[in-house]
């Protein structure tokens, strides 16, 4: 998941938020305001909403720390971590490679819940030091904030340990099955299937609660279940994709007959004579016989249509030196992961400084479809 708004870096890892986070942050703040108003009616409106906003921000900060636990363990195990993104249903650490062994998968999975338990214990410990007792309703704002954060972080850890992939508990389960069987693909398949089962239970329970009169809040359980079902299905599909592409190198499926276009060609000619007539979306740009870069339909769309006649391809192309490239001997699985990280649909294949061809996401999909039809 790519962040829409970047907040900065923490421990060298980019922290960002997805637009969907704004919705959930607003709902949680409103919910906290109603909660504090109900249990502490003596508070003023200003105190209630100040406590709600501060608690909401600290809650999301604790989610970042939870994900940071995963990220730091991954980095300590030699796995690069790109970013941490907050979104509607929590946070996600973008780890660029899968764990290489069951032990790494286990510690990566368990690190987040252990971090959340630690945060919860610290918050409740601080509240206790301020005079809170488990049988007392916290009366002052700092204590109320700490108690709520303590409980919610322990609950977050417990929820994440549900053994349904891709929850942390599902990753721990995957690591356990992997360790016993020695087969990572089988472990992923089992954990993903259990994750889908858990998700369906969430959906059914949430819907049943709603029609039993529990209110709209019960639909959140169904929504969480839907998200888990989608994520577990995606994890299963990814595992099947990796298994299908295993053994293939970029040179095996790249296109070596790339469409080429001169650097001084106008964008209007590019659109009329190349894009529309060939149906291709990516073209190699040549300047005096040398490869200068690439241009796609996306690049063309960045220029107003009334300027196409007077603008040449080299003015909007992406120079080859600034493009992410792959080599002919790179595994296709690694190249596909690179496409996901860079959010591109094609990559130039370069060897010894020379363009050998192009690898496109569409070509990979064709290979997957063909192998699926032949049950290979």
3-state DSSP assignment of residue 330:
coil
To which H or E segment does residue 230 belong? helix 219-245
261 beta partners: 285
Nearest residue to 14 (alpha-carbon basis) of 85, 97, 91: 85
The number of C-alpha atoms within 13 Å of 43 and in the hemisphere containing its C-beta is 22
Taking the CA atoms of 36, 37, 40 and 45 in sequence, report the sign of the dihedral they define: positive
What are the Cα distances from residue 187, in Å, to 70, 71, 190, 220, 373?
A: 20, 22, 5, 29, 25
Instruction: Provide the b/e sequence for 198-233 (b: ≥16 CB within 10 Å).
Output: bbbebbeebeebbeeeeeeebebbbebbbbbbebbe
Residues near 112 by beta carbon (within 8 Å), at least 6 away in sequence: 66, 67, 69, 70, 157, 160, 168
Rounded Cα gap, residues 30 and 245, in angstroms: 47
Contact 89, 227 (CB under 8 A): yes
Nearest residue to 267 (alpha-carbon basis) of 298, 221, 227: 298
Is 67 an active-site residue?
A: yes
Contact 281, 345 (CB under 8 A): yes
Catalytic hit among 14, 38, 67, 96: 67
Count of residues for the chain?
A: 376
Contact 85, 94 (CB under 8 A): yes
Angle between helices 102-129 and 45-76 (to 10 degrees): 150
Give catalytic residue positions: 67
């Amino acid at each position: 998941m790519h962040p829409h708004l970047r907040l900065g870096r923490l421990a060298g890892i980019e922290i960002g938020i997805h637009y969907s986070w704004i919705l959930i942050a607003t709902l949680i703040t409103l919910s906290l305001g109603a909660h504090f108003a109900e249990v502490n009616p003596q508070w003023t409106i200003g105190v209630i909403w100040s406590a709600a906003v501060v608690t909401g921000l600290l809650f999301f900060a604790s989610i970042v720390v939870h994900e940071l636990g995963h990220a730091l363990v991954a980095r300590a195990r030699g796995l690069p971590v790109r970013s941490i993104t907050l979104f509607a249903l929590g946070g996600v650490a973008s780890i660029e490679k899968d764990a290489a062994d069951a032990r790494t998968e286990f510690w990566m999975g368990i690190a987040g819940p252990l971090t959340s338990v630690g945060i919860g214990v610290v918050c409740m410990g601080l509240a206790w030091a301020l005079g809170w007792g488990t049988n007392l309703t916290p009366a002052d704002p700092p204590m109320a904030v700490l108690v709520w954060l303590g409980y919610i972080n322990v609950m977050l850890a417990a929820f994440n340990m549900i053994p349904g992939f891709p929850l942390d508990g599902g990753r721990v389960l995957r690591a356990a099955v992997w360790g016993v069987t020695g087969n990572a693909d089988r472990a992923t398949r089992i954990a993903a299937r259990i994750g889908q089962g858990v998700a369906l239970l969430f959906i059914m329970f949430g819907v049943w609660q709603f029609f039993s009169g529990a209110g709209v809040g019960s639909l959140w359980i169904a929504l969480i279940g839907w998200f888990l079902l989608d994520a577990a299905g995606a994890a299963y599909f990814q595992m099947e994709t990796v298994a299908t592409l295993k053994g293939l190198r970029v040179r095996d499926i790249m296109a070596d007959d790339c469409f080429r276009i001169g650097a001084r060609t106008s964008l209007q000619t590019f659109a009329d004579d190349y894009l529309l007539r060939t149906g291709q979306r990516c073209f190699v740009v040549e300047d005096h016989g040398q490869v200068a870069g690439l241009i796609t339909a996306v690049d063309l769309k960045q220029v107003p249509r009334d300027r196409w006649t007077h603008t040449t391809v080299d003015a909007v192309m992406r120079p080859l030196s600034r493009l992410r490239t792959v080599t002919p001997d790179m595994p296709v699985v690694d190249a596909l992961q690179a496409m996901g990280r860079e959010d591109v649909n094609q990559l130039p294949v370069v060897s010894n400084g020379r363009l050998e061809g192009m690898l496109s996401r569409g070509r990979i999909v064709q290979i997957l479809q063909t192998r699926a039809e032949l049950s290979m």
